[in-house]
Amino acid sequence: MKQQQSTELHKQLETIDRADAQFGVLRLKEPGEHIGYMYNMHESFIIRYGEEQPTSALECYFVRQNLTSFKIKIVYQPYLLINCPEQNQPQISLFLEKNNIQIETTYREDSSVLNHVAGQKTTFLKLTFKNRLQIQEFLKHFVNNRGQRILSNDLPQIMKTDQRILDFKDLINYINKVAESDVPDHLRIAIDKNIRCAKWYRVKIQPGSIDLLWCPSQL
């Protein structure tokens, strides 16, 4: 991220904090436990000193039984999935890791497959990024000048064991699908971490981590 973009983002985050503070909503940072009713959430960022890229986060808003409010930020790394022939996975993984993209193998139901209702899962490579901005930069390699996806329904090329991927344009030839790239971050983290508005939570703040525990006793 360029310095100007980082400065503008920092100003936007400060503006949100000032506006929330006017309504008595302050972010909790000190270790401790709090019980609150989650009434809102939205995408946000955390900017750390010395890091070039901001970290994606989910900002959650709570109200206590005494009607005081607070908010927290939960760090989250967005991701997308790519599907490719199994023979291509080692070379694709090597190329992506060289470009500082975290990658792992995962198995998901693919609704585009005819027999997906049978519960059969498809192998995907899960690419994890520090923020949504990095995902957008990655996806630029998969669209043409008209903004249309380059990938087609044609079968991708099968790589030989001694073949190497030289750049992102080369990568396109060896994969057949990019999935879940358009899922908003706040929905993705809500699904993955089972976080929902309109629920009571016990918010446990520790150095370096924040845990949300559903608190049914408050119902």
Using CA atoms, how far apart are residues 107 and 124, in angstroms rounded to an integer? 6
User: Mind listing the domains of the chain with CATH numbers?
Assistant: 3-76+193-218 (2.40.50), 79-184 (no CATH)
pLDDT of residue 50: 78
* Max CA distance (Å), the chain: 66
Contact 112/139 with Cβ under 8 angstroms?
no
Q: What is the pTM of this model?
A: 0.83
**pLDDT digit string (tens) for 73-129?**
999 999 999 998 888 899 999 999 999 999 999 998 876 665 555 567 889 999 999
Q: How confident is the model at residue 219 (pLDDT cuts 50, 70, 90)?
A: low
The arrangement of strands across the sheet holding 177-179 comes to 102-109, 121-128, 79-83, 177-179
Contact 59, 195 (CB under 8 A): no
Q: Write the CB contacts of 179 (distance below 8 Å, at least 6 apart in sequence).
A: 80, 81, 82, 83, 108, 110, 124
Rounded distance between C-alpha atoms, residue 49 and residue 8, angstroms: 15
Please choose, from the candidates 185, 88, 101, 86, the residue with its C-alpha nearest in 3D space to the C-alpha of residue 141.
Answer: 101
Cα–Cα distance measured from residue 156 to residue 94, given in angstroms and rounded to the nearest whole number: 18
Interval 133-141 mean pLDDT: 89
pLDDT greater than 50 at residue 68: yes
Bridge partners of 211, per DSSP, are 204
For 172-196, the pLDDT digits (tens) are 888 888 888 888 888 999 999 999 9
**Closest to 210 measured CA to CA, from 22, 36, 75, 54:** 75
* CA distances from residue 133 to 56, 57, 129, 139, 185 in whole angstroms, order as listed: 9, 13, 9, 10, 11
Confidence of residue 154 (pLDDT cuts 50, 70, 90): low
% the chain with pLDDT above 70: 88
The residue assigned the tokens 């790589």 is 159
Q: Which residues contact 29 (CB under 8 A, 6 or more apart)?
A: 205
Q: Phi and psi for 166 in degrees, rounded to 5?
A: -95, -35
pLDDT at 201: 97
What pLDDT is attached to residue 147? 46
On whether the CB atoms of residues 135 and 129 are closer than 8 A, the answer is yes
Res 156 pLDDT > 70:
no
